A and B are shown apart, each in its own frame.
Chain A
Amino acid sequence: MNQIDEQKLSFVLRHYRPGMFDTQKAWKKVSGMASRHPMRRILLWAMPIAAALIFGVFFSWRNTWTEYNAYGLAQAFTLKDGTHVTLAPGSTLRYQPHKAPRRVEMAGKVHYAVARDEAHPFRVTAPAATVTVLGTVFQVSEDRVDVTEGRVRVDGSLGDGVILTAGQSARLKDGIPTLEETALPNPSAWATGVFRYDATPLDDVLMDLSAYYGVSLQVKGDSSGKSLTGEFSTESLDEILELVSLALDVEIDKQ
């Protein structure tokens, strides 16, 4: 062994430590660390797929429909924007709470107390009409729209739309909404549970109650000039009739 080799040997011996510079061990460490590296490559093509999945999930979540149904009884629900809806028996309402919280589709009869939001009109699409409002109380059914508070615009499938204000109703005939002169005072009593009268002529009160309970109500004698103010629960017709009879001193015949 020549001089330079002795130098090499001395250098090695000076620094030697058992178990050091162990190729096997080091390889395990580096390949273990780098085994994450192929993951990076997987990520390169996995990322767009994952992104697409996330977008897909996001959009399908956004597009999710929430549907409400009322079967045997009227049922009340609160929508995402705070609007209260009451569905008459047999009615359905659906909307996309994440995509369009103020656009609902419905069938049957639904009473709305719309949360006010000037920037986002609330739109009801019913089989016969589209109703657009900002924040009011109204009711939409298959053939009519009744407004209790505020203003609504009703568009049928034909003709010009009409604007209804509180107390007004529109009937939908052949896709054309027309203002109805003889509107019932409490078209939404089924939903609110209350008959509300404010100097309402007795004949109108009886028409209202007749429509609600499906009975025929007649005043015995003269009803002209008599009007009613007050609130009555929808729970018992007989109780209402008794109160009205007492208040107005009339006799009412129920058939």
Chain B
Amino acid sequence: MLQTKEIEALFRTYYRPLCLYALHYLGDPDAVEDVVQESYTALWRQENPVANVRAWLYSAVRNRSIDALRKSGKTEPLPSDLDGPISDDEAEERSALEARLWTAVDALPEMRRKCLLLAKRDGLSYKEIADELNISEHTVRNHISRALETLREGGQQMINFIFSFF
């Protein structure tokens, strides 16, 4: 059985990527965390040693996500992107960078993040955002471009970071 310290390390490494991975299946951030946390709890309770913990966790999250989807009546539970279904491998592969991006969004200065989300998530125009936040359209544009810059840099750094392993 795994020790608390080992589980904590696995948590720090894979929790957010697994959340993003589950999000590709479930499409609803609210449903994601229970599935991932249950998977960790199940790993903890494993009496037998697990050879590849990362693979074990991904398949536990996948199985639980598929179960959840089946329960809600979906006959063909597939992972998807905003544009439509993607492969399970792709969802798994993307989840690491997406987790990194999620963290980068967390770290954005408050105003930049607000403007970015209102534009990209909620689909508001610069004008609408400017009105909502009582700032000029110019400032909105500025915030968003700076935010995207940071995220892309972050993403790029992440990719460099990955390549530095090889």
A residues apposed to B, CB below 8 Å: 1, 4-5, 7-18, 20-21, 23, 26-27, 29-31, 33-34, 37-38
Contact = CB atoms under 8 A, between A and B. Distances in A.
Contacts of B98: 8, 11-12
B96 to A, nearest CB: 10
Nearest to A38: B4
Contacts of B81: 7, 11
Contacts of B97: 5, 8
B106 A12 contact: no
B16 interface: yes
Given A14-B82, A21-B32, A26-B37, A1 B102 contact: no
Interface stretch (B52-60, B69-77, B132-140, B149-157): B149-157
Contacts of A21: 15-16, 19-20, 29, 32-33, 99, 102
A8 B151 CA distance: 11
A112 to B, nearest CB: 61
A30 B120 contact: no
Interface residues of B, number: 42
A16 to B, nearest CB: 5
B4 A12 contact: no
Contacts of B159: 5
Given A8-B155, A21-B29, A29-B37, A14 B120 contact: yes
Nearest to B28: A15
Contact of B29 (A20, A33, A38): A20
15 contacts: A5-B97, A5-B155, A8-B94, A8-B101, A9-B101, A14-B82, A14-B120, A14-B121, A17-B29, A21-B29, A23-B12, A23-B15, A26-B11, A26-B15, A30-B44
Given A8-B98, A15-B23, 19 more contacts: A1-B155, A10-B120, A11-B98, A12-B102, A17-B29, A18-B113, A20-B29, A21-B15, A21-B32, A21-B99, A23-B15, A26-B36, A30-B11, A30-B41, A30-B44, A31-B8, A34-B4, A34-B7, A37-B44
B129 interface: no
Interface of B: 4, 7-8, 11-12, 15-16, 19-20, 23-24, 29, 32-33, 36-37, 40-41, 44-45, 81-83, 94, 97-99, 101-102, 105-106, 113, 116-117, 120-121, 148, 151-152, 155-156, 159
B45 A37 contact: yes
A12 B116 CA distance: 12
A4 B94 CA distance: 9
Nearest to A7: B81
A20 B101 CA distance: 13
> Which of A14, A21, A33 has the most B CB atoms < 10 Å from its CB?
A21
A221 B101 CA distance: 128
Contacts of B24: 11
A102 B94 CA distance: 80
A249 to B, nearest CB: 98
Given A7-B82, A14-B82, A30 B37 contact: yes
Contacts of A5: 97, 152, 155, 159
A33 B32 CA distance: 18
Contacts of B32: 21
Question: B37, B45, B102, B156: which has the most chain A beta carbons within 10 Å?
Answer: B102
Given A23-B16, A37-B44, A13 B29 contact: no
A14 to B, nearest CB: 6
A13 B121 contact: yes
A21 to B, nearest CB: 4
Given A8-B98, A12-B20, A20-B29, A30 B155 contact: no
B155 A27 contact: no
